[in-house]
Amino acid sequence: MEDLRWGVAATGKIARKAVPLLARANRCVVAAVASSSIERARAFIDELDLAAARPCTYDDLLAGDAHVDACYLATPNHRHFDMAASLLERRVHVLSEKPLTSRADQAERLASIARERTALLTEGFKFLHAKHHRALERIADDPAGPIGPLRHITASFVINLDERAPGNDRTSAAHHGGALMDLGCYPLAFARLIAKEEPAEWTARAILHDPHPGESLPVDALTLVRGAFPSGVTFDLRCALDRDALDHESLEIDPHPPIGATLAGDWGRCFTPCPFGSPPMPRSIDVDRSPDHPDGAGALSLPVGEDDDPFVHQFAEFTAAALRADHDAMRPSPHWSINQARWIGAILDRVGV
């Protein structure tokens, strides 16, 4: 097999952003686009000039009529589990947009099917595949590095929903929306990946959003999670659908930019405004050394190098792993995603969502 034939499930905003980058990635062919109707799929294909792609419905895709080797699953959150399970059963490799699910038992089931069918299953945290993130991991892993031993991680993802997407499904409990599911899964993933540990102790609190029109259950509008890893590294994670809700003084939390991550160590700290992989990717990481650093206080800029869009890296690395049948080469692993689902579910339970 020379190339991997990809199907795309969904034609919304994230698919419009990602699919041109999928088409650009090495050994990737967009062979089919699925939507709720043939007409929507055909319009998407025409809009993005995907001449080789066949339009189909979700039912066609799940029935195997699209004849694809892999699927980029970009549907709303509530459809991820059922669609991923059906695709994996047909030995179709699945790259699912985050979050894969908020239930550990569902993630375990998907991992089990993937093993049985020798299919590749990956949750799409694209920032993992950027040079920028790998540089942050090196800083965190090096106790003799520019910030010294890592002591604390702060990560935040806060937006103004009404400005970005008024009336969308992010506030729908039925569609598994909410701040943690849509946004907070990124800071949670970032902290777990940087620390390479699972939290040993933690607390969570939330502000709930009014129920979505036509629904009775709320989602979280803001969620804050604090805790510590077994190593003693502490973390402070923030997500919100409204920046005005994140009042640092009333919430008694330290100020932090709405989108970004800070790594603090014994000898200094570094901040990135782009921890979750949204271009343009920074070409360097700025570090502030404290007076405790062996070289004294000061600032330095660590070059990262020019980076392509993380989506391109993610699709190319997934394709290479699938073509080699080297499923252990792809990050994050299904086991990691099982734990990610377990943490999301536990946090939602703790805050009453």
pLDDT > 90: percent of the chain:
90
pLDDT score, position 164: 59
Q: What is the pLDDT of residue 163?
A: 60
Residue 176: pLDDT over 60: yes
Res 288 pLDDT > 90: yes
Which residue in the list 13, 17, 98, 196 is annotated as catalytic?
Answer: 98
Phi, psi of 159 (to 5 degrees): -130, 175
Does residue 151 register a pLDDT over 90? Answer: yes
196 is catalytic: no
The pLDDT value given to residue 237: 98
pLDDT at 1: 60
Q: What is the pLDDT of residue 306?
A: 85
Residue 244 has pLDDT above 90, yes or no: no
Computed over every residue of the chain, the mean pLDDT equals 95
Residue 233 has pLDDT above 80, yes or no: yes
Mean local confidence (pLDDT), 131-157: 97
Q: Give the range among 174-178, 276-280, 347-351 with minimum mean pLDDT.
A: 276-280
Residue with tokens 């990602």: 18
